[in-house]
Amino acid sequence: MPESAPGIGELLSHFSWDLPWIAGLALVAWLYLRAFRRLSRSNPRIPHPAWKAASFISGIVVVAAAVLSPLEHWGNQLLWANFTGFLAITMLAPPLLLLGSPLTLAFRVSNPQGRGRLRQFYRGRVMAALTFPVVSWLLFAVATYLWQFTTLTDDAAANVFIRDAQQLSLLAVGLLFWMPALCTDPVRWRIPYPLRALYVFVEMTHKGLFGGMFLSMASAIHPGFAVGLPAWGPSAMTDQRMAILILWIGGNLIFLVALIGIIVRWVRYESRATARTDLQLEKARAAKRRHRAAIESVFHRPV
């Protein structure tokens, strides 16, 4: 590595041409857009919302940025770049992908046999177990802790296969974690809005406590990064503190946005429920008035 910091061109020139990731992301995006266009043509009166498609494709772009952009290259040398990619693939991409409601879209464009297979998939024992809120929360907490604060972080930076396993597993647990919180697709466990808010808040608090604990440490927790920093990079402790701050502040902002979104949806849900209740009560009162009027018309006297 040169002694002086590389220029912008050098920083942005290191793209990863990881063919499995490129093929996988391209295939998923193509299948989604194909289903979106098919539904728009076959059912234009009730199409899949365009904002959902935009959200899903944005999630694909975020994943691509985490695993294929220069962030991937520098993430193997600088801990703050590593944790930025970590944040993108666990906290930003999964909710964007899930807000696209891919399972709902697939269900709407499938034939009866396809819908039956999809129903078996999301109602099956495996998915029911993995998306149970306590299980999904624990999987997310444990997996992110192991990949963040153990020697697995150094191993992933040094070995491309471990790195791919890290990114794929983090994306998977991120999706599992956000499923019960967002409930944008049919899932086995549809927890009430107050519990969804609590679910996100508990993880937000958990991540904040761990972030504060590791931020206060006076020694490097990742020796592989500490000894392999570029000559132009920050010191090991500065790099570590920058990485933890990115996770801490960025993660809390995402959690906060999610909490606000859940509360807004909760308020709207309660408003609709109140409106339905008021309408039912009004229908009951109108029926009672008609019944009274019918009786009065028979007996020609007030009842």
Residue 254 or 228, more confident: 254
55-81 pLDDT, tens per residue? 999 999 999 999 998 888 888 888 898
pLDDT value at position 92? 95
**pLDDT for res 10:** 65
> 261: pLDDT confidence band, cut at 50, 70 and 90?
very high
- Mean pLDDT confidence for 86-99: 95
> How many residues are recorded in the chain?
303
Residue-wise over 215-249: b if at least 16 C-beta within 10 A, else e?
eeeeebbbebbbebbeeebeebeebbbbbbebbbe
pLDDT at position 125, please? 87
Check residue 3 and give its pLDDT. 55
Supply the pTM of this predicted model: 0.86
pLDDT tier for residue 1 given thresholds of 50, 70 and 90 = very low
53 touches 100 (CB < 8 A): yes
8-15 long-range Cβ contacts below 8 angstroms, 24+ apart: 11/70, 11/74, 12/70, 13/70, 14/70, 14/73, 14/74, 15/68, 15/69, 15/70, 15/73
| pLDDT (average), residues 117-144 | 89
- Give the distance, in angstroms, between the CA of residue 243 and the centroid of all CA atoms in the same chain: 21
Q: What is the pLDDT of residue 31?
A: 96
pLDDT at 11: 63
Q: One-letter amino acid identity for 59?
A: G
